[in-house]
Chain A
Amino acid sequence: SQQGEEDPQALSIQEGENATMNCSYKTSINNLQWYRQNSGRGLVHLILIRSNEREKHSGRLRVTLDTSKKSSSLLITASRAADTASYFCAPGYSSASKIIFGSGTRLSIRP
């Protein structure tokens, strides 16, 4: 299977805490992307990390990639209510015409 598997399936944390979600995949990749989906909306691209990169930052987001373990993690620091959403990873392969998603992690931020 070429899709990523997100873990955990659901995560509930207090506002201000950090949220970590993980993605595992099975075959070699060129890159890995993370997306966010707010309820009832389309997916929004968050960050892309290439296979030769180990870590990447974007604002409060930090993504790591471990190609030896075929896994990636997304860390959201100082969470806010607006971070409540589902988060999906999408491993990228040599064929760029295929972006496949797992079932996602549903993140809930408690006030």
Chain B
Amino acid sequence: DTAVSQTPKYLVTQMGNDKSIKCEQNLGHDTMYWYKQDSKKFLKIMFSYNNKELIINETVPNRFSPKSPDKAHLNLHINSLELGDSAVYFCASSYSGTGGTEAFFGQGTRLTVV
């Protein structure tokens, strides 16, 4: 069973469209994240949710809206896609126990905006 799964794996779309990426974890974790990795491989945190509550929103345009229907899911909706949104988006989850725990990552969604 895949611990953190994202769909779709590849997404090609035109500028101006709205798209969603889904993420699900079956690890019982209480914290989920979205990261963006650009062409230079820099991995930037976008959002963090703990128990369905938004914890971190790192200067992300409001065209990006995360939605967490329950602790096992964190979806990313993107409105009015722009060329600069092309990147690989990773979902991750972890448990927010004392002292920190490891994060598990999905396989990534490669978004290409044309």
Contacts and interface: CB of A to CB of B under 8 A. Distances in A.
B66 interface: no
Given A30-B99, A42-B108, A97 B43 contact: no
B102 interface: yes
Contacts of A48: 100-102
B102 A98 contact: no
Contacts of B11: none
A96 interface: yes
A43 B89 CA distance: 12
Interface string A80-103: 000000101010100111111101
Interface string B98-114: 11111111111000000
Contacts of A99: 33, 45, 92, 94, 103
Interface stretch (B12-20, B48-56, B67-75, B76-84): B48-56
Interface in A32-81: 33, 35, 40-45, 48, 50
Interface residues of A, number: 26
A50 B33 CA distance: 22
A20 interface: no
A99 to B, nearest CB: 5
Nearest to A40: B108
A41 B110 CA distance: 11
Contact of B42 (A40, A41, A103): A103
Contacts of B40: 103
Interface of B: 4, 31, 33, 35, 40-43, 45, 48, 50, 55-56, 90, 92, 94, 96-108
